[in-house]
A and B are shown apart, each in its own frame.
Chain A
Amino acid sequence: MKKVIFVTFAFFVCSLLLVPGNGWTQDKKPVKIGVPVTLSGMGAQVGVDNRNGIVLAAKHKKTVLGRPIELIIEDEEGKPEVGVRKAEKLVFKDGCIAILGVVFSNVGLAVAGEADKLKVPFLTTNVMTPKFYGINKYVFRCGQLADDQTAMGHVMGIAADPDLSKRTYYVLADDYAWGHSCAESFIDLAQKKGIKISNPKYDNAALTVADWSPFISKVSAAGVDGMYSCLRSPVIPRFTKQAYEFGLMKKIKVVAGGSPSEADLEAGGEAEVGMVTVCCYSWDIDTPASKQFAKAYWEEFKAVPPSQGAQAYVGAMMLFNAIEKAGSTDADKIANALKGATYNGPYGQVRISPKDNSMRTPAVLTETRLAPPNPYGAKIIKKVLVNLTPEQLGPPE
């Protein structure tokens, strides 16, 4: 009889311990973070860079709230409808407490449109459209610059350089949400600063363009000596290589509205040299934190430390820290903790503005050059020309 009572009691105790929500089991349960990024199609390399940055951050952080971090990575294919479907799956099926990542603006806007339904914090580490400013209380931009911030950086860089400031710029943009906002942000600001724009109504290139020769001939015929390119990172080596073979790259200076990924620069090789671009991170940034990130990234992935990877790393760290600060996995508490949060990472001190949920960050104006010997085997370096402060890039709060 005693044996039966003992077994029954033991079974009862074990059952209690295994009940969901019980303190003991919950302590051991991982904190699930959904990571939808583009892993197929044209934007896959940028997606891989973002994913790697987030994975590295999770590895460095190890735990939040004393619980392991579990990243559930999904391919959003760079398609808005897939992005929404994957975000819903991550939240409602997998039980993720936050969404982190998303590469393209059109996907980001689609997922942000579902924020009230998802009811979890959504932090994008790559979306640049200004439409993200204050879009929803759960939606944040952490890690990446917005288009108006890069435009400000470019305009400041152009205005400060006598060679760049006297040039006339032809604007060419990818025909989708980000391309449009990138071009419009630059044209608006450049015209106010007296920078000459050859085509204020700018050209939209279909996302399927593979042969860029019509555009190259058109830019040539416009007689300009500068070009502002709002082309997606993987398109840039294709455009510049073809333009290089037409001899166009010797005549014009390309300012890249969206900073190309390091892998894309490596693909284009010599044709990529001489491009001016603003980005948060370059492995040329000479600070201990920058070098430490570059070393860690190289050791983990054996790839050139990418700017998009650093941005994603920063975004992920800010989310993990906010969860700790919130002391809970409650969406509203995490969202509140993210407002005004700061983080000192590979490119210095960044902060999420409580006014619009977007990051204020330092950045660097760079020029692509042939790389000196380096531990990463990189052929191209984004050489830092000017350091830009968050106050310079704005927007004002």
Chain B
Amino acid sequence: MPTDLTFWVQTFFNCLGLGSLLLLIAIGLNIIYGINRIVNLAHGSLYALGAYFGYTLVAKGLNFFLALVLAPILVFGIGLILERSIIARIRTRPMLYTLILTYGVSVLLDGLMKYFWGVQPRFISTPSFLSQTIHLGSIPYPFYRFFILIVTTAVMAGLMFLLGKTKMGITMRAASHIPEMVSVLGINMNLVQVLVFGMGCFLAGIGGVIAGPLLTVYPMMGSEMLISCFIVLVIGGLGSLKGAVIAALLVGSVQTLGYIFITDYAMVVVYVMMAIILSFMPRGILGEGKFE
């Protein structure tokens, strides 16, 4: 077992970094499930789409930070189109319909990305200060990984504020618990669901742009992350935001430590952990549907 301080400090931040990246990508999926009760299997593809939009905007000369705003807006737009044209039509059908439909959408989006951008892996260029290696004392660490932590914290804080302090957020929370009551109060439940779906897509877009400079941008990048995101959601409790935070950090840490100490079985450990948690807490750590 390595004993030097550099290794353990780096490992600590690696756990946080992977956890925050997983959270950033998974949170949109969670919101959509929390309010709309849709398991959106196209979420990974929307995340990849965000990465490709970000790549294209930056490659065309746009500032990275502007791309970080614009690309998610574009994914938000795509999300609205998908919701209105396809998903809204079967929203009231059993979940199996939306599962199959969103899987189909994901295959379609992956195909379109392959068609428009090809299969060559790409990276999103960042301003030089973001790709620097900083030193915590004598310990080197990539600044971009801290940037991911900052963005994830900002997104979560914004989300908490939206849900806790704004009228829209309160409506969303109410809608997640008793949608019929919200409708009776004269609130357009349909509009709430559309906006929530769009917001989930927006967050997927942010995740894509943030992941782009670190991981390769390629058409199937979404499916690579989707499984880990679902593990986070299931462990945290489907629809639970706070549960997702805890679960993301847990999965990020177990996965990181697993790769270090039992390399061959790292992912097995993650699944075993999920099985143990669910056997004692079948609705996840903070319980299913506690959208608050």
List residues of A whose CB falls within 8 A of some B CB: 39-42, 44-45, 47-48, 175, 203-206, 208-211, 213-215, 217-218, 220-222, 234, 237-238, 241-242, 245-247, 263-264, 266-269
> Cβ of B224 and Cβ of A247 under 8 Å apart?
no
Contact B263 A203 (CB under 8 A): yes
CA distance A215 to B122 in the complex (A): 22
The main secondary structure of chain B at its interface with chain A is helix
Given A41-B220, A237-B121, A245-B131, check contact A213 B264 (CB 8 Å): no
Q: Given A205-B259, A218-B260, A246 and B216 touching (CB < 8 A)?
A: no
A267 CB to nearest B CB, Å: 5
- Which residue of A has the minimal Cβ distance to B133? A247
Known: A208-B224, A209-B259, A247-B133. A221 touches B123 (CB 8 A): no
Question: How many whole Å from B16's CB to the nearest CB in chain A?
Answer: 10
Tell me whether A234 and B216 are in contact (CB under 8 A): yes
Show 8 A/B contacts (Cβ-Cβ < 8 Å), sorted by A: A40-B110, A40-B220, A205-B263, A209-B259, A211-B14, A211-B256, A217-B10, A218-B7
Q: Which 4 A-B pairs have the closest CB atoms?
A: A44-B119, A245-B142, A221-B2, A214-B259
Contact assessment for B4 and A221 in the assembled complex, using a CB-CB cutoff below 8 Å: yes
With A208-B224, A221-B6 known to touch, is A213 a contact of B145 (CB < 8 Å)? yes
In the complex, the answer to whether A217 meets B215 with C-beta atoms within 8 Å is no
B-side contacts of A269, CB under 8 Å: 123
For chain B, the count of residues having a C-beta within 8 Å of the partner chain is 44
- Interchain nearest-CB distance for A52 vs B (Å): 12
A-facing residues in B253-285 (Cβ within 8 Å): 255-257, 259-260, 263-264, 266-267
Q: B11: which A residues are within 8 A, CB to CB?
A: 214, 217
A214-B14 contact, Cβ under 8 Å, with A48-B119, A234-B216:
yes
Return chain A residues, CB-CB under 8 Å to B121. 45, 234, 237-238, 263-264, 267
Query: Among A206, A211, A218, which residue has its beta carbon within 8 angstroms of that of B18?
Result: A211
B29 beta carbon closer than 8 Å to chain A? no
Other than the given A210-B215, A211-B21, A214-B257, 18 more pairs (CB < 8 A) read A44-B219, A44-B220, A45-B119, A48-B119, A203-B263, A206-B266, A213-B145, A214-B11, A217-B260, A220-B10, A221-B4, A234-B121, A234-B218, A237-B121, A238-B216, A246-B141, A247-B133, A266-B120
